[in-house]
Structure 1
Amino acid sequence: MESLYDVQQLLKRFGIIIYVGKRVYDIELMSQEIKNLYDSHLIEQQTYLKAWAILKREHQIELSREDL
């Protein structure tokens, strides 16, 4: 797993499709869903941490774009 698309595909495997309309909000909601999957023991810790790191990176990128 290396990209936001990969995280979306992971969520899709569990029937979770997220589209709010604003990318930064999509990323925030994905973070919550990934945490819920981990807390429910549906994904392993390594998968959770990798997805969380990707989402955090993408969130920072989106915030920096908004500041311009």
Structure 2
Amino acid sequence: MRDERQTGYAPKPVEGVTPVQRIEVTGRSVPCDGRIGMDGLGHPRVWLRIAEREVTCPYCSITYVLKDGAGDDDGHH
């Protein structure tokens, strides 16, 4: 689902339509273009910042989760 803190709304998940992808990452800044494991054109590349443990892309709803023990990079990634 989209992150309502970024977009002002969060649509209701639709089974078979809304991605349920959760991708583990090692850094707090992650790029997303919506093409991971999806057919289609994707979306413009955006950089997402993980403030706590995870962030959801406001375009495609893919969720990026910080791996345990990762992210102590103080924003330098």
Q: Indicate whether the TM-score tops 0.5.
A: no
Name the TM-score, length of structure 2 as normaliser.
Answer: 0.27
The structure with more strand, counted as a fraction of residues: 2
Q: Which has the larger radius of gyration?
A: 2
Name the TM-score, length of structure 1 as normaliser.
Answer: 0.29
